[in-house]
Structure 1
C-alpha cells in the first residue's frame, strides 16, 4: 500500500521547511533508513529518512519549495500503485495546489523563450513558480516571464531563474564588449559567480536590519580586572578531571555572572513589546554561536538556577548542536538577554546588535594588559573589555551603566560570587 512521507515539524515554532536536496528520484528503490531528502528551517538543517521500504512513486515538492509542516512531500509504494490521492491533497506556498506528482525525473530541455511564457502560465494568468525561484527573481529584478521552466508541469524552479540571470549577465557583457570594440578599446570580461543566499542568511539579514532600523540602540564600553577570573579558571582547569568538571571557559564564567547580576536589573532581562514591557522571572540566556550556516543564538533556559559547571556543559552541548545543524528550533527562541563573545578573535571593542524584542546584549572583548596606580606606582594587570548595547526606548543610560558596573565588580570578585 502506498505511503505518503510528510514534512516533519521541527519544533512548535516552525510552520514550514524548505527542501534543499533530493537524494532519491522517482523510480528509485528505497530501503528503510535511506535519506530521502534534506530540508532546512530558518535556523537549522535536517535529513528525512525513509520509514518504509519500496519504490519512490512520486515527488510532490521540488528543491527550493517552502513546504508547510505535516504536508505530503513524496510517496513510497509498489510500482503501478495509484498516487493521485496524495498529489491532490498536497499543497505548497500557503495553500496553492502543488504540481501533479512527478512521474519521472525532471529533465532540463532547451526551449525557446516564447515557449516559457506559455508553458509556465496557469489559467487566470498566474505563473507557476517555486517560492525560492520567485525570491531570487525579485532580488535580481528579473522578468520571470522570460524564464524557461524545467520543473514538473512547466513550473519555474530555482535553476531556471539562475540560468535566466546568467543569460542576462552574458548579454550585458556582450553589449559592453561590442561598444568598447567599436571605440577601439579592448575590455577584459570580469569573472564572477552569483550564489543565491541561503535561507538562514536571509533571516539574519532581515533580523539585523529590523533591529537597527526600529530600535534606539546605544553601546557603553567597560573593562574590569580579570586577574581573579584568570586565576580561578587556572585552578578549575588543573582540577577538572579530578572533580569531574566540564571545560569551564572564560565565556562560561561570563555567562554565569550575567545570569546572577541580570536579576537585579529587570529592564535588561525583558522584552520591549511596543506598548508594554515583558519582564522575565528567570534568566533565559542567549549565546551567540558561529556556525557554518551563519550566526545562531541558542538559549540556556533558567540559567540563573544552574551552577557554573551546569552552564558550561549546557553551553557546549548547545553550541555543538548549532554547529552540526541538528539543534531544535525551539532552543533558538525565547532568550531574555544575549551574550556575544568576539574576544577569542582578538576584538578589542565592538557594538553588538540587539536581537529583538530583547532590550540588551553584552559583547565580550579580548584581554589586554593595562596599567593602574597602586600606592603611587603604575602596576600592570590583565583587563577584559565588555560592550553593552541597550534599547534606549526601554531603559536609560544610567540604569544600563549600573548593570555593567555591577557585572564588572562581580567578575573582579568572582570567587566571592561563588560563595553566595
Structure 2
C-alpha cells in the first residue's frame, strides 16, 4: 500500500531542515532506521533516518529545498506493488466510498534522536476531546538521556490515549487515536477484529459477580497435630508466637511463612521493623546503572593520580575574571581551562582519544570532549564536538550552554553521545582523589580534584604552593601504564605553564 513518510523532528528546537543530499532514490529498498537524507538544520548537518520500511516510489522534496518538520518527503510502497501516483494513495478521490474508519488514524511515538529507541510517558499534555495541531507539544517523555517534550506529527481531535503515564513505549508504536473534526470514534468498532465471537457470544457471557469472601479460617485446636513449614516455625519462634494459634490459608492445610507474617500484620506480637519507602528507579538511573556496571565488569580499568602547581592557572583566571566584561569574555572557570588543555594535549596521545572496539581501535582526528554534568535526574555527559578547534572562550561558552540544557532536560540525545574522551570534575565538592569510571567504548577519563596547599623545596627551603590533583582512569586493554602516565605528565606540565599554551 502506498504511504507517505514525513520529515521527523530530530531535536527539541528543530522546525525545518534543508535537504542537502538524498541518500536513496526511486526503486531503492529502505528499512526502518536506514539513513535516507543528509539534512542541514540551523545547528549542524545530520543524517535523517527512515521511520518505516518499504520501496521508495517517489521523492517529494528536491535537494536544496527547505522542508518543515512532519511534512511529507517521500512515498513508500510495499515490495512488488506498483505506484500509480496520487490516485493510488487516495481512492476516495476517484469516487469510491470511504473505507470503514475514515477520518480516524493513529499517531505513533516519533524518534527524536539517532540513538533513541524508546521513551517513558512521564506526563500527557493532552486528553480525549482536545484539539491538537501538528507541532503542538503532547507528551513530556523521559528517554534514557533527558526529559523532552514530544510534538504532534499531525493534526486532529484526540479520541483516545493508547499509553498510560509511566509506561515505556517503543519508537513508532501507536500512542493515541486522532479523528477529523466532526468524526465520531467508536472504540468497540475500532477493536472489532479482536472480538470474533460476535454480539450473541457477548450476550451469552454471564454477568460478573463479586467473588465470595473467604470465611476466616479457625486456628488449630491446642493439643491437635499442626502441620507447619520449618521456615514458618522459625519465624513464629523468633517473634514469640505460639504457632498453633496461626490459621493456615487453606482449612486443614499446612502453615507457611505467609500465614505467620499475615498473623503478625493482623495483630500478632509487634516486632520492631525499620521504616522504609520503595521507589521505582527512573529510566535514566537504570541506564546509568547498566552502563557503569558494564564498564567496570568488562574493562581492565586502572587509575593513576597526579598533581600540578596551579599557581599560573589561578593567576590567569583571576586576570580573566577581572577583565571579562571589558573584553566580552565568558566566565572562564578552572574546568574550562582543564577542558582546553586536554583538547590540545590529548592529540599527542591518540590511544586515549579513541574507542576500544574489541578487535580494533578507532582513533579520532578531532577531540570530541565529554563533560560530566550533575543534573536533577542523574549524571549526563554532553559532548563538545571538535574542542581542539575552539578557543578557550568558545569552550567556556559551549560548556555552559550544554550544562544548562542538560540540567533543564532540554538537551538533544544526539549531544549526549559521540565523545572520544571525558572529563569529570568533583574538585568543587572538595574531593581530594577519586577513581572516575570510563564511558565505554572510550579508553580513558580524567577526574579533576580539589586544590590543596602543599610544600616544595626551593633553595633548601620549604615553600607553600597551590596544587590541583588529577586522576586518570584508562583501559589497560587499549594502552599500558607508561603511555597513560606520559599523557598525564604532559597535561600537568602544560597546566603549570598555561600562559605558554595560549601563546601557541
TM-score range, shorter chain: 0.7 to 0.9
Does residue 348 of the first structure (1) align with residue 432 of the second (2)?
A: yes
Superposed, 1:61-210 pairs within 5 Å as 61-77=163-179, 78=181, 80-82=183-185, 174-177=262-265, 181=269, 186-210=270-294
Q: Indicate which of 123, 129, 136 corresponds to 1:21.
A: 123
Shift of 1:310: 0.5
Shift of 1:14: 1.3
TM-score with structure 2 length normalisation?
0.63
- Structure 1 residues 277 and 86: alpha-carbon distance in aligned structure 2, compared to 1, 3 A threshold: farther
Deviation track 1:95-129 (CA, whole Å, cap 9, x = no partner) reads xxxxxxxxxxxxxxx98699xxxxxxxxxxxxxxx
Match of 1:416 in 2: 500
Deviation track 1:153-201 (CA, whole Å, cap 9, x = no partner) reads xxxxxxxxxxxxxxxxx988644557962xxxx3235432111001000
Does residue 294 of the first structure (1) align with residue 378 of the second (2)?
A: yes
Match of 1:399 in 2: 483
- Structure 1 residues 320 and 171: alpha-carbon distance in aligned structure 2, compared to 1, 3 A threshold: farther
Q: Indicate which of 322, 337, 346 corresponds to 1:238.
A: 322
Match of 2:463 in 1: 379
- Secondary structure (helix, strand or coil) at the match of 1:295 reads strand
Q: What are structure 2's unaligned runs of at least 5 residues? A: 1-102, 192-208, 214-257
Match of 1:118 in 2: none
Does residue 359 of the first structure (1) align with residue 462 of the second (2)?
A: no
Match of 1:285 in 2: 369
- Secondary structure (helix, strand or coil) at the match of 1:384 reads strand
- Structure 1 residues 171 and 232: alpha-carbon distance in aligned structure 2, compared to 1, 3 A threshold: farther
- Structure 1 residues 276 and 111: alpha-carbon distance in aligned structure 2, compared to 1, 3 A threshold: farther
- Structure 1 residues 85 and 232: alpha-carbon distance in aligned structure 2, compared to 1, 3 A threshold: farther
- Tell me whether 70-79 or 204-213 shows the greater mean CA deviation: 70-79
Match of 1:307 in 2: 391
Shift of 1:67: 2.4
Higher relative contact order (CA 8 A, sep 6+): 1
- Secondary structure (helix, strand or coil) at the match of 1:379 reads strand
Cα RMSD (Å) of the superposition? 2.9
CA distance in 2, matches of 1:357, 1:400: 17
Shift of 1:314: 0.5
Q: What are structure 1's unaligned runs of at least 5 residues? A: 89-109, 115-169
Match of 1:39 in 2: 141
- Secondary structure (helix, strand or coil) at the match of 2:472 reads strand
8 Å CA contact 1:75, 1:86 repeated in 2: no
Shift of 1:16: 2.3
Number of matched pairs: 341
- Structure 1 residues 339 and 172: alpha-carbon distance in aligned structure 2, compared to 1, 3 A threshold: farther
Shift of 1:12: 1.4
Shift of 1:419: 0.5
Shift of 1:18: 2.0
Match of 1:106 in 2: none
Deviation track 1:118-142 (CA, whole Å, cap 9, x = no partner) reads xxxxxxxxxxxxxxxxxxxxxxxxx
TM-score with structure 1 length normalisation?
0.75
- Structure 1 residues 245 and 256: alpha-carbon distance in aligned structure 2, compared to 1, 3 A threshold: same
CA distance in 1, matches of 2:351, 2:470: 19
Match of 1:333 in 2: 417
8 Å CA contact 1:173, 1:189 repeated in 2: no
Match of 1:12 in 2: 114
- Structure 1 residues 34 and 385: alpha-carbon distance in aligned structure 2, compared to 1, 3 A threshold: same
Deviation track 1:371-400 (CA, whole Å, cap 9, x = no partner) reads 001111110000000000000111111110
CA distance in 1, matches of 2:173, 2:397: 37
CA distance in 2, matches of 1:264, 1:44: 34
Shift of 1:72: 3.0
8 Å CA contact 1:4, 1:86 repeated in 2: no
Shift of 1:35: 4.4
